[in-house]
Structure 1
Amino acid sequence: MKARSDELQMFVSVIECGSISAAAEQGGQTPSAISRSLSRLEAKLGTTLINRTTRRMDLTEEGRFFFERAKAILQQMDELEERLSLHRQTPSGRLRINAAAPFMLHAIVPWVGEFRQLYPDIQLELNTDDLIIDLLEQSTDIAIRIGELADSSLHARSLGCSPLHVLASPAYLARRGTPRHVEELAGHSLLGFTQTETLNHWPLRHTEGDRLTIRPDLCASSGETLRHLALAGEGIACLSHFMTHEDLQAGRLQLVLAEANSGYRQPINAVYYRNSQLALRIQCFLDFIQHKLSIYAC
């Protein structure tokens, strides 16, 4: 008996998810159903693909061989499906998008419903990661990144830009006072990032230039965490407009030192491999999201 494409997809999903339970959750199945399917696949092939224990699972030599070729076969099937849809001029197939969690939550998720109505044959897969990833290793079609890009092996398409705001909650400002000059920030609780030092350079004009390097009193690795800390009145933060514009409109956050803001805007780029042909489903998404992002470029 020959392995079917759904069995290949199941096997690849187990390996990429890292466990049977995670693959079952992603595929909307039970772990026992996935385990039985995996056993049937191994029986068909007459070999053990994964050594499984209660705590871990490891690919056998045959499993590694099968995994790489199964991924290639599934990719070829996706490409074949896409070539057929190109012939019909109907974008379809799986579209894997990776972005930092704040951008995903505030700038992509609100538009997913409209995109799916426009392109019902595209199956979106949305993943979040605050760090730079290997697109090939993570099976990602598009990664959206905020800030300057350095990797020349990637092709980038600009999707626009987003201003940076220094802001705080009304409760914090009522309790600690509103700074009128940049130098007064030294007497305030400053919220900053833990990992990327450049994110702690605030776009504020002062005696030594247009960017102020701050030493955070409270740090977090995610902008979304810093947003919630600012909303909770824990201090002053510097965050992008795409994730705070609704808070500003609703009065949950207020601008601080707006007259000293140098006007720096963070670039927003979609990146993908330079040697890959831009698929129709990718082109449709980039055109769609670029139009939507124009509201954040004020």
Structure 2
Amino acid sequence: MKTSTDELLVFVTVIDSGSITAAAEKLGQTVSGVSRALTRLEQKLDTALVRRTTRRLHLTEEGDAFLRRARAILDALEEAEESVARGRERPSGRLRVDAASPFMLHCVAPHMSAFSALYPEIRLELTSNERIVDLLEQKVDIAIRIGALQDSTLHARALGESRLRVLASPAYLAEHGEPTTLDALRGHRLIGFTAPEHLNRWPLRAAGNRRRGSRAQDDDTALLKIEPSITASSGETLRQLALSSSGVACLADFMTAADVREQRLVPILGNLLVDRRQPVHAVYYQSVSLAGRVQSFLDFIAARVRL
């Protein structure tokens, strides 16, 4: 017996929701109906797709492989349906977008007037969280994530990469001098993140250990662990601290390019800097009801963000 698209949808929704109960609520079905559909799918495939425990479901190796195929099939079907729908009507309704405050302020918010002019029937709801949010729990449609992606159940669209640099204000450097070695840097006031700890590892090498300008995406030996004098949970707060001459910070180009261009911040230690870049992705769950809004926003922001 052939597998139906309804069974594929049940399987994908169960995995995305994290439980049969949550999937049933999302699909508007009974828990027993969703459970039977999942069992029926496994029987048709003659293999276990998930391991069931008292607390959650875990994909088997076969389930993980089948999940990718199931998503591709549902995506193709949804794209075909959405293509027809787009020909009949413009995207409308509420769209919730979440990003860390620096990215929201410097890369998203400046373009939202133009987006609203193009899509006046989409009601935008913008939120800023400094840590990774659960899209389902927070009812977020699109999240902008900076750094390596962890959740394989999400769809992702790459927006680019942003390089990290060590910077300070001209006033701070005039008062305290410009460090040219790692030992000298340790004697300065360093501004870092409260959490997570890996954000306080700066892309600086000991002289002679690595070629200047070389990439260090996966080489933690090229990272210098700092002991910050001041910490903050938000990159935007760190930027403001650096601008106010509170110390030296390591920040991404997407939030400091204008500051450097207008000489409000000065890049330092360029001879020791390793080319470390943070990938930026827009992540989302596929949804028929949201597809037009999500695609419109993704296409719009991808065309305007320059990292």
Q: How does 1:6-25 map to 2 (within 5 A)?
A: none
Distance in 2, Cα, partners of 1:88 & 1:133:
34
Equivalence for 1:177: 177
Aligned to 1:253: 265
1:258 is paired with a residue of what secondary structure?
A: coil
Residues 1:239 and 2:251 are matched in the alignment: yes
Whole-Å Cα distance in 1 between the matches of residues 151 and 183 of structure 2?
Answer: 36
TM-score, length basis structure 1: 0.68
Q: Deviations over 1:147-206 (max 9, x none)?
A: 111122222221111111110000100010001123311111100001111111111122
1:122 maps to which residue?
122
What are the residue-to-residue correspondences of 1:23-42 with 2, within 5 Å? none
Displacement of 1:284 in angstroms is 1.5
Q: Using a 3 Å threshold, how does the CA distance of structure 1 residues 70 and 257 change in structure 2: closer, same or farther? A: closer
| Count of aligned pairs between the two proteins | 219
Aligned ranges 1:124-273 → 2 under 5 Å: 124-206=124-206, 209-273=221-285
Distance in 1 separating the partners of 2:259 and 2:132 = 28
CA distance in 1, matches of 2:292, 2:253: 30
* TM-score normalized by the length of structure 2: 0.66
In the alignment, which residue of structure 2 is the partner of 1:107? 107
SS of the residue corresponding to residue 163 of structure 1 reads strand
**In structure 2, distance between residues paired with 1:176 and 1:249:** 22
Q: Aligned AA for 2:227?
A: R
Distance 1:120 1:85 in 2: 18
TM-aligned CA deviation for residue 280 of structure 1: 1.7
1:83 CA drift (Å): 9.5
1:38 maps to none
Q: What is the alpha-carbon distance in structure 2 between the residues aligned to residue 194 and residue 286 of structure 1?
A: 31
| Consecutive unaligned residues in structure 2, runs of 5 or more | 1-23, 29-81, 210-220
Displacement of 1:276: 3.6
- Work out the CA distance in 2 between the residues paired with 1:126 and 1:71: 26
RMSD: 2.4
Mapped partners of 2:83, 2:141: distance in 1 = 16
Q: Is the 8 A contact 1:99 1:129 kept in 2?
A: yes
- TM superposition shift of 1:71: 12
Give CA deviations for 1:35-65 in whole Å, capped at 9, x if unaligned. Answer: xxxxxxxxxxxxxxxxxxxxxxxxxxxxxxx
Deviations 1:108-145 (A, max 9, x none): 00111111112222211101111111211211110111
